[in-house]
Amino acid sequence: MIWAAIVLLLVLALFGAPLFAIILGAAAIGFLTMETPLAVLHITIYQLTDSVVLMALPLFTFAGFLLSEAKTADRMMRLSQAAFGWLPGGMALVALVACAFFTALTGGSGVTIVALGALLLPALAKAGYQEKFNLGLMTSSGSLGLLLVPSVPLLVYGIIAQQMSQQLDMPSVEITDLYLAGLLPALLMVVALYLYCLWAMRKQPVPKQAFSFAELRAALWQARWEMPLPFVVLGGIFSGVLVISEAAAVTALYVLIAEVFLYRDIPLRKLPKIMRESMVMVGGILLILAVALAFSDYLVFAGVPETLFAFIQQHVESKLAFLLLLNLVLLALGALLDIFAALVIMVPLILPVALGYGIDPVHLGIIFVANMQIGYITPPVGMNLFIASYRFHKPITELFRATIPFMLVLLVVLLLITYVPSLSLFMIR
């Protein structure tokens, strides 16, 4: 009977059954093999409601949807250009900064390519950059902000790690620690890509635009209601005045007032549609999260992490070798799976093994999201490659070639993040 259930589950997966159903089915089969009543699934799924930071997920997501529907991209573009356009390689830096901040605020890399692509690609061409360079830069920059506050992937990782800390002998992972740990790695990625842009265009000098204080002041005034947002979130969280869920509520309310009543970018009649779309996405994430926790409970009860750790330790004795193997696996997963699916499937397996090698769980979270970020542009099936191909009307093979140099730069930074833990942990340890 058990083998028949396994075969049926595999067939359903091949025919495109929903991910949550496959994960829940695997957990049910696992508990049946242990002769455990399936009522345990209800208990483990209900554990998700114990998470004190759970409310932050729908609130941050709703705020991100509002910002993506408003004219935030235009204002971020103008402000970045006024602030950095006069520097060497100014337009390249403008693209990097604008994409990183927009991705951080909205929480979606594909959204960044769609929203900013129409603005930045013509601006880069007008500034004298070559088309291949522009395509590679825009496609690679689309996921730069996933390590910045209020990163939803880091939040999801933190929720899973906190739930698993009740089963494993490990301290609870604080969301604020993850947000602090992601700041310097995200900055390193932006700086590394900017330096590469300067080197790549060294033989083709691009004229710099003149700095205009009047334009900078006008851009700041235009973005006056959105500029304080990062400081509200960062200041509230890191000062200890607000916990994560409170900061998310303040963020959602602030964005709602700014975009609907102050900028008036979003009419009231569109709010129900935006709410519905954002909560549909949240519902999908929560459903997968809940069943993933049930599956992780089965893994712990069955001793799978210990068995997996013993097996890996037999073949991979060195911590450095394990980290290299981990990066290769995560890069492949990032190219094949959505980031949230990869998180809920792999974190319950990887976290206990990584702890066995002495890897800090906060550092592991940064490694995980950094790999997923690069996975978005990893050939042959990185999601951002297909989004950019659709948005810019270019063959996918052309985007493969355009993004490879940028991906190599990001891989070098990934190795630094992986093998120098202090880059992530110096602010929290």
Domain edges within the chain: 37-425
The pLDDT tens digits of the residues spanning 308-364 come to: 767 777 777 788 888 888 888 888 877 777 777 778 778 888 888 888 888 889 999
pLDDT of residue 5: 64
Comparing CA positions, the residue from 305, 310, 349, 292 lying closest to residue 326 is 349
The pLDDT tens digits of the residues spanning 22-62 come to: 777 777 777 777 777 777 777 777 766 666 677 888 888 88
pLDDT of residue 410: 92
The SS3 call for residue 271 is helix
pLDDT of residue 205: 64
Residue 100 has pLDDT above 80, yes or no: yes
Residue 225 has pLDDT above 90, yes or no: no
Comparing CA positions, the residue from 195, 420, 164 lying closest to residue 295 is 164
Interatomic CA distance for residues 345 and 359, integer angstroms: 19
Comparing CA positions, the residue from 183, 230, 124 lying closest to residue 362 is 183
Higher pLDDT, 205 or 266: 266
DSSP-assigned letter for residue 262: I
Residue for token digits 């334009």?
215
Interatomic CA distance for residues 247 and 233, integer angstroms: 6
Residue 16 has pLDDT above 70, yes or no: no
Q: How many CB atoms lie within 10 A of CB 317?
A: 10
Interatomic CA distance for residues 381 and 399, integer angstroms: 12
With beta carbons less than 8 A apart as the criterion, state whether 138 and 388 touch. Answer: yes
Interatomic CA distance for residues 105 and 72, integer angstroms: 10
Residue 366 has pLDDT above 90, yes or no: yes
